[in-house]
């Protein structure tokens, strides 16, 4: 299989049709084969993931249990820092020395120009991942989640859990001391911010040095102003078709909201690392922080029960109904590499991972929301169930960046240019993004 693919590449321009043919061939090779009927599970199994303290620990637990069940398998697990992960993964996929790794292929909307295809999608398109369609173990997962992950009607990825990240962790004690309740509209939220400032409390903590945590505020702002999946899809389409202007209307409103959040964040937050936020929140340096549920276990161990804390959707819209759902994504999605040395073990691993008892332990260690039904969620996640009853994909999972556009339009809301991260006002940053975006259309 791998040989056939590289042969195709040597001939030069193969294009989408060739890739699709290769894909069909590939699925012919693998569909219907389950680990039980392809022989013994033995040998080396190479796993590559991007590193995070909690998920590394959880994966290692799974690996140990897996090797206990299949004593003839030696799992070789590499957890690579996020920054190096894309480079490591592509070189190892090229070399064929990885069996299980992470990827998130997404179907290309028709309005997106062809060059904008991201690596994960390009890899799925090129047949680098094993087609898992019809595998029994996928039935363990919540069907609606699996449906979300389909690429061109096929299953390539196994979810590890869900995360939500358009909400705010808040210090209940500070809220109580100042007679505040959970705000449900932007004007209520503004009141909360001004009350806190009046009482000498910094309302918001942001780890701006790493840039992306400040981007969470942007994603949350988009969530409130474009609450449903359809709203976001339409925005993306309008932008790609040149019908929407980043420096106008609701799009400009997003930037203004982000700017007002930055205005009430802790002093010099642009130089503070993301890793300092949990401890800052725990010591009461600020009352709230926009963060993902993935960080809840870290925040919890920093707070150490000193006070109660909660999580609510950032109320960016003036309409309470628009603010009632959290935007989220499916966390780390596992794929089996089509050119790996040990496909049998890879499939056995994915199948083992999906078993409800193994998966429950994984969820408990990582703090992800479960992607399988009837798994007991943590107290914290139960507390936010009312915000997650309808899954709303966060903006960054809907948006497709344009490589031909300028750097200012990557997200495309240009939060890094807003003062104090950059030096611009919301309107100027938006105008810069718009001209960078237009230049690429």
Q: Which is nearer to another protein, 195 or 438 (CB)?
A: 438
Of the ranges 11-19, 60-68, 165-173, 358-366, which one interacts with another protein (CB under 8 A)?
11-19
Rounded to a whole number of angstroms, the distance between the first and last alpha carbons of the chain is 38
Per rule CB under 8 A, is residue 85 in the interface with another protein?
yes
Q: How far is the CB of 160 from another protein (least distance, A)?
A: 17
Per rule CB under 8 A, is residue 21 in the interface with another protein?
no
Q: How far is the CB of 5 from another protein (least distance, A)?
A: 4
Of the ranges 171-179, 314-322, 346-354, 419-427, which one interacts with another protein (CB under 8 A)?
419-427
Per rule CB under 8 A, is residue 310 in the interface with another protein?
no
In DSSP terms, 330 is beta-bridged to 162
Residues 49 to 68: which contact another protein by CB under 8 A? 50-53, 56
Q: Which is nearer to another protein, 213 or 370 (CB)?
A: 213
Tokens (6 digits) for 80: 């690579």
- In eight-state DSSP terms, residue 440 is T
Size of the site for another protein (CB under 8 A): 96
Q: How far is the CB of 14 from another protein (least distance, A)?
A: 4
In DSSP terms, 333 is beta-bridged to 159
**What are the Cα distances from residue 299, in Å, to 24, 267, 331, 337, 369?**
46, 21, 19, 35, 16
Tokens (6 digits) for 233: 């899809």
Q: Strand, helix or coil at 424?
A: strand
Query: Comparing C-alpha atoms, which of 171, 161, 169 is closest to residue 329?
Result: 161
- Dihedral sign (CA 223, 224, 228, 231): negative
Among the listed residues 190, 210, 237, 238, the single contact to another protein using CB under 8 A: 210
Among the listed residues 73, 93, 287, 375, the single contact to another protein using CB under 8 A: 93
Residues 129 to 188: which contact another protein by CB under 8 A? none
Phi, psi dihedral angles at 202 (to 5 degrees): -70, 125
Q: How many angstroms separate the most distant Cα atoms in the chain?
A: 71
Of the ranges 17-25, 156-164, 171-179, 253-261, which one interacts with another protein (CB under 8 A)?
17-25
Per rule CB under 8 A, is residue 200 in the interface with another protein?
no
- Do 421 and 208 meet the contact criterion of CB atoms below 8 Å apart? yes
**What are the Cα distances from residue 213, in Å, to 23, 185, 228, 263, 290?**
37, 23, 23, 15, 8
Of the ranges 66-74, 96-104, 252-260, 381-389, which one interacts with another protein (CB under 8 A)?
96-104
Per rule CB under 8 A, is residue 364 in the interface with another protein?
no
Among the listed residues 28, 249, 271, 373, the single contact to another protein using CB under 8 A: 271
Alpha-carbon span 239 to 231, nearest angstrom: 12
Q: Which is nearer to another protein, 97 or 195 (CB)?
A: 97
Among the listed residues 174, 396, 430, 433, the single contact to another protein using CB under 8 A: 396
Residues 24 to 53: which contact another protein by CB under 8 A? 48, 50-53
């Amino acid at each position: 299989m791998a040989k056939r693919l590289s042969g195709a590449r040597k001939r030069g321009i193969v294009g989408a049709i060739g890739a699709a043919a290769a894909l069909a061939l590939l699925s012919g090779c693998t569909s219907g084969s389950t680990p039980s009927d392809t022989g013994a599970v033995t040998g080396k199994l190479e796993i590559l993931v991007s590193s995070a303290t909690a998920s590394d620990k959880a994966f290692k637990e799974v690996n140990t249990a897996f090797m206990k069940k299949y004593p003839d398998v030696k799992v070789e697990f590499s957890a690579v820092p996020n920054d190096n992960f894309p480079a490591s993964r592509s070189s190892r996929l090229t070399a064929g020395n990885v069996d299980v790794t992470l990827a998130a292929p997404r179907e290309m909307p028709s309005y997106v120009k062809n060059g904008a295809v991201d690596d994960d999608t390009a890899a799925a398109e090129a047949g680098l991942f094993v087609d898992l369609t019809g595998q029994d173990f996928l039935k363990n997962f919540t069907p609606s989640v699996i449906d979300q992950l389909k690429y061109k009607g096929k299953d390539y990825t196994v979810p590890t859990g869900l995360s939500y990240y358009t909400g705010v962790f808040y210090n209940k004690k500070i809220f109580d001391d100042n007679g505040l309740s959970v705000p449900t509209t932007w004007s209520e939220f503004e009141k909360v911010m001004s009350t806190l400032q009046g009482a000498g409390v910094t309302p918001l903590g942001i780890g701006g040095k790493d840039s992306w945590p400040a981007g969470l505020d942007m994603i949350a702002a988009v969530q409130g102003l474009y609450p449903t999946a359809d709203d976001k899809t339409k925005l993306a389409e309008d932008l790609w078709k040149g019908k929407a202007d980043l420096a106008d209307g609701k799009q400009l409103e997003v930037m203004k909201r982000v700017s007002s959040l930055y205005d009430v964040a802790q002093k010099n937050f642009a130089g503070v690392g993301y890793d300092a936020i949990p401890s800052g929140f725990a010591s009461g340096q600020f009352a709230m922080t926009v963060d993902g549920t993935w960080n809840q276990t870290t925040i919890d161990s920093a707070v150490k029960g000193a006070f109660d804390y909660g999580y609510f959707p950032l109320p960016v819209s003036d309409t309470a109904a628009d603010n009632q759902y959290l935007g989220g994504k499916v966390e780390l999605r596992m794929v089996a590499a089509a050119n790996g040395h040990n496909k049998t073990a890879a499939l056995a691993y994915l199948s083992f991972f999906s078993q409800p008892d193994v998966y429950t332990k994984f969820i408990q260690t990582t703090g992800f929301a479960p992607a399988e039904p009837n798994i007991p969620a943590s107290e914290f996640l139960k507390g936010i169930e009312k915000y997650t009853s309808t899954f709303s994909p966060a903006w960054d999972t809907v948006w497709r960046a344009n490589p031909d556009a300028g750097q200012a339009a990557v997200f495309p809301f240009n939060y890094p240019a807003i003062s104090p991260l950059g030096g611009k006002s919301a309107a100027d940053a938006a105008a810069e993004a718009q001209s960078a975006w237009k230049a690429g259309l």
